[in-house]
């Protein structure tokens, strides 16, 4: 009887030791992984005649969606060097390049918010359209993105475009899921209007690999 109790005690102790070892390893991996991730920080730089209510709306949209620290710069962006000759359009790529050198808090991202007509050369169905007007532009893992209210008519669209372009700077590519906010508009505003305004599971996982986000459990 005493032997059986002793054997039972040893088995219980063995299980407890294994449990605590697993718990330690899991905790170490979780903490180490969390420390290697970055917080999302965004600085909005307005330019032109963007209304304060639109600036505040974009700020709150990004704060809520990405759980990000979002500040508005008092320095106005200067786009005059990016204006396309004999046109009312501004080169979006030039706008990004002219702001990539700026030092901002926490080495975060920049969103230039403008009411100017911005454009880029766009390849659609094998045809390159020069100076194609766009809602926004962001580079994958880049520092800056730009969003234009020039052709945006609703707050829903402004929110989706802002989330989308910041998503590019955070490393997200265009997504094949048409309902994902990272889907490619392919030159059609209707594709933006129809997406859900949310990230799909795949994009959430990609974002979670590098950043501390509100998207837990995926």
**Residue 81 sits in a domain of what CATH number?**
3.40.390.10
**Residue 107 belongs to what domain range?**
43-208
Q: Is the pLDDT of residue 155 over 60?
A: yes
Q: Is the pLDDT of residue 76 over 50?
A: yes
Residue 65 lies in a domain: yes
In three-state form (DSSP H/G/I as H, E/B as E, the rest C), the secondary structure along the chain is CHHHHHHHHHHHHHHHHHHHHHHHHHHHHHHHHHHHCECCEEEEEEECCCCHHHHHHHHHHHHHHHCCEEEECCCCCCCHHHECCCCCEEEHHHHHHCCCCCCCHHHCEEEEEECCEEEEEEEECCEEEEEEEECEEECCCCCEEEEECCCCCCHHHHHHHHHHHHHHHCCCCCECCCCECCECCCCCHHHHHHCCCECCHHHHHHHHCCECCCCCCC
In this structure, of 27-36, 45-54, 142-151, 175-184, the range with the lowest mean pLDDT score is 27-36
In this structure, of 69-83, 106-120, 182-196, 197-211, the range with the lowest mean pLDDT score is 182-196
Confidence of residue 185 (pLDDT cuts 50, 70, 90): confident
| Structure confidence at residue 126 (pLDDT) | 80
| Structure confidence at residue 123 (pLDDT) | 80
Average of per-residue pLDDT across 171-194: 89
Q: How far apart are CA 85 and CA 55, in angstroms?
A: 28
Residue 28 lies in a domain: no
Please count the structural domains in the chain.
1
Chain-wide mean pLDDT for the chain? 84
Residue 4 lies in a domain: no
Residue 34 lies in a domain: no
Q: Is the pLDDT of residue 28 over 50?
A: no
Average of per-residue pLDDT across 17-32: 43
| Structure confidence at residue 24 (pLDDT) | 44
Average of per-residue pLDDT across 170-177: 96
Average of per-residue pLDDT across 70-75: 91
| Structure confidence at residue 191 (pLDDT) | 80
Name, in order, each residue with C-beta under 8 angstroms of 152's C-beta and a sequence gap of 6 or more.
Answer: 135, 158, 161
Residue 203 lies in a domain: yes
Q: How far apart are CA 163 and CA 157, in angstroms?
A: 10
Confidence of residue 18 (pLDDT cuts 50, 70, 90): low
| Structure confidence at residue 213 (pLDDT) | 80
pLDDT top residue among 25 and 109: 109
Output the pTM of the full model: 0.80
Residue 38 lies in a domain: no
pLDDT top residue among 33 and 206: 206
Residue 14 lies in a domain: no
pLDDT top residue among 29 and 143: 143
Confidence of residue 71 (pLDDT cuts 50, 70, 90): very high
Residue 108 lies in a domain: yes
């Amino acid at each position: 009887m005493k032997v059986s109790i002793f054997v039972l005690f040893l088995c219980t102790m063995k299980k407890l030791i294994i449990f605590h070892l697993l718990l330690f390893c899991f905790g170490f991996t979780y903490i180490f992984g969390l420390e290697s991730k970055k917080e999302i920080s965004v600085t909005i730089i307005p330019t032109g005649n963007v209304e304060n209510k639109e600036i505040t709306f974009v700020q709150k949209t990004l704060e809520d969606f990405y759980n990000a620290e979002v500040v508005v710069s008092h320095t106005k962006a200067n786009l005059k060097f990016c204006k396309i000759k004999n046109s009312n359009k501004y080169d979006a790529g030039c706008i990004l390049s002219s702001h990539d050198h700026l030092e901002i808090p926490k080495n975060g991202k920049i969103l230039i918010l403008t009411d100017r007509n911005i454009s880029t050369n766009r390849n659609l169905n094998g045809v390159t359209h020069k100076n194609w007007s766009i809602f926004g532009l962001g580079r994958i893992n880049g520092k800056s993105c730009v969003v234009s209210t020039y052709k945006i008519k609703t707050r829903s669209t402004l929110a989706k475009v802002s989330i989308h372009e910041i998503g590019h700077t955070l490393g997200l590519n265009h997504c094949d899921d048409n309902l994902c906010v990272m889907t490619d508009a392919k030159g059609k505003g209707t594709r933006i209007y129809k997406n859900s305004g949310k990230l799909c599971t795949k994009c959430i996982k990609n974002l979670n690999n590098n950043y501390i986000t509100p998207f837990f459990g995926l």
